[in-house]
Structure 1
Amino acid sequence: MATDRIVVLAGGVGGAKFVRGLRTLARRTSSPAAITVVANTGDDLWLAGLRVTPDLDSLMYALAGVNDDERGWGRAGESLRVSAELTAYGVGWPWFTLGDLDLGTHIARSALLKEGLPLSAVVERLTARWPLGVRLLPATDQEVETHVVTAEGELHFEEWWVRTRAAVPALGFVQHGVETATAAPGVREAIMEADVVLVAPSNPVVSIGTILGIPGIRAALRETSAPVVGVSPVIGGSVVRGMGDVCLTAIGVATDAGAVALHYGARPAAGLLDGWLVDDVDAATVDPLTAAGIAARAVPLWMTDDETTARMAAAALSLARSVRE
């Protein structure tokens, strides 16, 4: 662990919780691991003239210790005066409430982007404010936005997720601009030079799936000598957080820990995974997954606090070491 270079693919609140636990584990060593987090940018959007990056911000705020733990997103100690004014002017989405402190982040980001800085450089500028203990990278500098295909047309993922609460049936997901995108500077290099790559328990379809869709990233994961170990976002047939089950259903994948692992696929069969952690309640999936070429273990996966999540991260690293050996 002390010399490991760890790359984590992550998105949103679940990814942020996992990375905080991994950082807690790393800080206990005399030579802490170098952790690079590659974040989903498919949820990003322009709103009221501002570039909003939900997953990057969730990770940044959580690692900085300034996130709102009660709501699970945004900044702690928020006020909503500016959002109320925007609504009064009929600007933006009234159901997509941005706090005043959060808006400060979006204004700063948008100003730097309009000065010509790429998103990766902007993230570096913004994260320099806090000692995060990890390097945070966007999956790409290009604008790749996830849209949901419905019978009534396409909706931006955030509109479908927040306004409709995923109640409108999804027929599929489209990442606009993904074909011409490239991995952000440092992403492929981090993966290729890693000792371990971890796939956080984030939404497999619109978070991890979007990262994997960026040209060059999936290839790097197949080429790296590092073991790739994922953590199931499904426990006992239910998603840990959010409405990821609706996303899985839309692409024909069962809400099941084993099914998600097989969706990612085994690396020996041109898939993604060398190893997969499932919760104890899903222990019956371990043998079938191992037979399919994915080394699996069952351990407690509920991320109730940083300490329990650190133990989960330790189990993931232990599995990675056994795969590597």
Structure 2
Amino acid sequence: MLAGGVGGSKFTLGVRSALARRGAPEATVVVNTGDDLWLSGVRLQPDVDSIVYALAGASDTVRGWGRAGDTERVNQELQAWGAGWPWFTLGDLDLGTHLARTGWLREGLTPTQVIERMSQRWPLGARLLPMTDAEVDTRVVLEDGSDLHFQEWWTRHRAALAPARFENPGISSAAPAPGVVEAIADADVVLVAPSNPVVSIGPILAVPGIGPALQATSARVVGVSPIIGGRVVRGMADVCLAAIGVETSAAAVAAHYGSRGSRGLLDAWLVAEEDAALAPAVSALGIDAVVAPLWMTDAEASASIVDAALGAAGL
């Protein structure tokens, strides 16, 4: 699975549940690391942590990010020192994760090895891999030519500053993390989570070698639309899509990904019942359109979406 963000973490829970019911092997999740950043001397991996916490049953489902039951004493102290970002909260438990990660990185472990070590604490029921071990943080270039880190644009400014484009400096010389290409080649099916197509899935696809691996795999590639009824489910993905000239619709995102038969990504695309009228437009792209309920209201609903995706892959 290719995943990132809150949508990716919810979908990963559904994947784990659906596969467990079938007695199938664990999934391998290739996680976006374009959201990563250094802050107050520690390395943060927001998408990785969201998925780890969700699988561990430790995520704050009310806020939608961070650890359940977290406190913010250290964050308050950082702000008293004028350190960090006052609008970017680091919970105490969450900071413990970042400190552990940073220590391991400074000892010489790679991000892949760090995630493997993190996965030993909780029985996650899935194998997590970063998209790359290189640091390729996402920068948002504004219309005036200035740029800022994606997290500042997203969290501080709530995507209100008009973006001209998104960049991942250094990504052209990055390589897939160990195991990523092999996982794609050996997969029974590749699922594209209903994550932000531009800043969650986009960076994964931009890592040299991942696109060719997706083209070469014998597995069907099935994606789930993050757009329901012409609206984003969460966040500001519509702003990101507009910046790259893509309409906020299930059919437009399918066209953005493209048909694998035309050197794109998808073999099949799940669209919400609310967007059933768009299924013919998706089919016209050479992508099998499957209409299904797509609201991830709980783990069971997410698992049902995964079942529909697996069905689209003939599994």
Classify the TM-score, shorter chain.
Answer: over 0.9
SS at match of 1:46: strand
Matching residue of 1:87: 79
**Which of the numbers 164, 188, 197 marks the counterpart of 1:195?**
188
**Which of the numbers 275, 290, 293 marks the counterpart of 1:282?**
275
Matching residue of 1:106: 98
Are 2:119 and 1:123 aligned? no
Are 2:42 and 1:50 aligned? yes
Q: Name the amino acid aligned to 2:169.
A: H
SS at match of 1:176: coil
1:127 Cα deviation after fit: 1.4
SS at match of 2:163: coil
Q: Name the amino acid aligned to 1:110.
A: T
1:181 Cα deviation after fit: 0.5
Alignment: residue pair count: 314
**Structure 1: which 4+ aligned runs deviate by more than 6 Å?**
none
1:12 Cα deviation after fit: 1.0
Q: Name the amino acid aligned to 1:273.
A: L
Task: Provide, for residues 274-320 of structure 1, a one-character-per-residue CA deviation record: whole Å limited to 9, x for no partner.
Answer: 00000001111112211221001111000000011111100000001
CA distance in 1 between counterparts of 2:224 and 2:118 reads 28
CA RMSD across the alignment: 0.8
1:119-268 aligned at under 5 Å gives the runs 119-152=111-144, 153-268=146-261
Task: Provide, for residues 96-153 of structure 1, a one-character-per-residue CA deviation record: whole Å limited to 9, x for no partner.
Answer: 0010000000000000000011000000001110000000110000001100011341
Contact 2:16–2:26 at 8 Å: present in 1 too?
Answer: no
CA distance in 1 between counterparts of 2:142 and 2:283 reads 37
SS at match of 2:43: strand
Matching residue of 1:4: none
CA distance in 1 between counterparts of 2:242 and 2:282 reads 21
Contact 2:27–2:126 at 8 Å: present in 1 too?
Answer: yes
CA distance in 2 between counterparts of 1:214 and 1:16 reads 21
**Which of the numbers 85, 88, 100 marks the counterpart of 1:96?**
88
SS at match of 2:160: coil
Could you list the runs of 5+ residues in structure 1 that have no partner in the other structure? 1-7
Please report the TM-score for the alignment, with normalisation by the length of structure 1: 0.95
**Which of the numbers 35, 52, 56 marks the counterpart of 2:27?**
35
1:28 Cα deviation after fit: 1.5
CA distance in 2 between counterparts of 1:151 and 1:313 reads 39
CA distance in 2 between counterparts of 1:212 and 1:177 reads 14
